[in-house]
């Protein structure tokens, strides 16, 4: 059994479809201010492992927009909660470079094992308008090809999503050892 | 002697003008992701006090814009580094409620003393353009009355600034005990 440390039921459901033997644990952990998702994730898992003497994983993700110097990046959740998609569209108004990527970092550890990191990335574009109603967060303004992530069926999104990719990478590593 | 834990020489110079017996120590500490400056400051000073067995203080500050749900708030430094003042002006384009405040939180501790917090606030407005060249960060777009903070002489800014206010509050407490 692996404890997935998250308060987000949706993330857990997504992960469980890929990795066997997961269990959600809403333990809470310190998220630090840092330049990278990796630093946030490793700090978090080390704190968790000091309390929990069993296999555990957690995940952190963000949206990185090239023309905005990587904003909102590590602080994507906070930015979504405050200025939201409308704010991002305003910031991108008149900017022709719309390149962006979503990145997910999963970190896994167990007693006696240094944390192992796995990542998934999906490249796309910031659209000129929000479209679609599935998914959540930045999905309606993040386009891969002609469609926003919020216009995709869950199965289609899961084929390309950054989170599915990082979870699959962890799953392969778990299966392979 | 009190150690002011900061990598920012400007902050130190500002503080030294108000509080006697300060010494800058660029030790570095963990800044957590949190909803409030207070949480960030207390976590930081507790970490410092576990390493440094002497009187110490640190400071955290942010700009809180009412119409943007308090954005950029705790993450003001990151937002300044990425989207900058131009980004804030874009986000505020067409918004008539320009109310904002700067807040500074100073936290002081010494062996055997629970951290003590002091705050300073300056209320103002987000302007429609950046003006002035003194100061740094958000100063050119933050107006108190007719002038932006970046159009003020240092002495004038220090009379009203959030950081000067929190430093004076600490100074008064230190003098008074």
Give me the domains of chain B, ranges plus CATH numbers: 2-176 (3.90.950.10)
Name the average pLDDT for chain A. 94
pLDDT at B14: 85
* pTM higher than 0.95: no
Interchain contact, B82 vs A93, CB within 8 Å = no
Chain B interface, best mutation among A29, A31, A33, A95, by max B CB count within 10 A: A33
Could you tell me the sign of the dihedral formed by the alpha carbons of B64, B68, B71, B72, in that order? negative
Tell me the average pLDDT across A9-24: 91
Q: What is the pLDDT of residue A171?
A: 96
**Is the pLDDT confidence value at B13 over 90?**
no
The percent of residues above 70 in pLDDT, for chain A, comes to 100
In the block, residue with structure tokens 């002006």: B89
Q: Tokens standing for B99?
A: 């109310």
**Rg from Cα positions in chain B:** 16
CA B115 – CA A19 distance, rounded (Å): 44
Q: What pLDDT, on a 0 to 100 scale, did the predictor assign at position B115?
A: 96
Chain B residues 25-54 with CB within 8 Å of chain A? 30-33, 40, 43
Tell me, what's the pLDDT at B158? 84
Q: Which of A30, A33, A82 sits opposite B69 (nearest CB)?
A: A82
In sequence order, what E strands does A53-131 have?
56-65, 72-73, 99-110, 113-126
Residue A135 has pLDDT above 80, yes or no: no
The Cα B165–Cα B152 span in angstroms is 17
What is Dmax (Cα atoms) for chain B? 52
b/e string for B69-87 if b means 16 or more Cβ within 10 A?
ebbbbbbbbbbbebbbbeb
ipTM above 0.85, yes or no: no
pLDDT digits (tens, 9 = 90+) for B49-93: 999 999 999 999 999 999 999 999 999 999 999 999 999 999 999
Q: What is the pLDDT of residue B157?
A: 87
| Interface probe, candidates B29, B33, B35, B42, chain A, greatest A C-beta count within 10 A | B33
Alpha-carbon gap, residue A63 to A16, rounded angstroms: 23
> Do the beta carbons of residue A102 and residue A148 sit within 8 Å?
no
Whether residue B157 is annotated as binding a ligand: the answer is yes
On the question of pLDDT at B135 being above 80, the answer is: no
Mean pLDDT of the A22-51 span: 95
The token pair that represents A59 in the structure block: 């995940």
Q: Give me B93's structure tokens.
A: 């384009």
E-state strands within B35-176: 56-65, 72-73, 99-110, 113-126, 142-144, 147-148
Range with the poorest average pLDDT among A86-95, A101-110, A121-130, B6-15? B6-15
d(C-alpha B62, C-alpha B70), whole Å = 10
Burial class (CB in 10 A: 0-12, 13-18, 19+), A168: middle
Q: Is the pLDDT of residue B154 over 90?
A: no
Q: Is B171 annotated as a binding residue?
A: no
**A142 pLDDT higher than 90:** yes
Judge whether residue B142 has pLDDT over 90: yes
Position B3 pLDDT exceeds 90: yes
Give the per-residue pLDDT at B128.
Answer: 97
pLDDT at B155: 85
Range A29-44 average pLDDT: 95
| Predicted confidence (pLDDT) at residue A29 exceeds the cutoff of 80 | yes
B138 burial level (CB within 10 Å; 0-12, 13-18, 19+): buried
Query: A41 is written with which tokens?
Result: 């994730």
Q: What is the mean pLDDT of chain B?
A: 94
CA-CA distance, B151 to B146, in Å (whole number)? 10
User: Rounded to an integer, what distance in angstroms lies between the CA atom of residue B56 and that of residue A51?
Assistant: 29
Cβ–Cβ under 8 Å, residues A108 and A56? yes
**DSSP reduced 3-state for A106:** strand
Under 8 Å between Cβ of B170 and B118:
yes
């Amino acid at each position: 059994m692996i404890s997935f440390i998250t308060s987000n039921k949706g993330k857990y459901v997504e992960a469980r479809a890929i990795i066997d033997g997961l269990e959600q644990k809403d333990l809470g952990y310190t998220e630090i201010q840092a330049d990278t998702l990796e630093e946030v994730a490793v700090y978090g898992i080390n704190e968790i492992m000091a309390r929990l003497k069993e296999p555990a994983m957690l995940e952190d993700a963000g949206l990185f927009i090239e023309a905005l110097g990587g904003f909102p990046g590590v602080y994507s959740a906070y930015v979504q909660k405050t200025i939201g998609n409308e704010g991002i569209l305003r910031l991108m108004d008149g900017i022709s470079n719309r390149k962006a990527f979503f990145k997910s970092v999963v970190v896994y550890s167990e007693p006696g094992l240094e944390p192992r990191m796995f990542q998934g990335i999906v490249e796309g574009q910031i659209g000129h308008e929000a479209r679609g109603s599935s998914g959540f967060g930045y999905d309606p303004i993040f386009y891969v090809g002609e469609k926003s992530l919020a216009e995709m069926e869950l199965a289609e999104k899961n084929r390309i999503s950054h989170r599915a990719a990082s979870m699959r990478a962890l799953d392969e590593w778990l299966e392979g050892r």
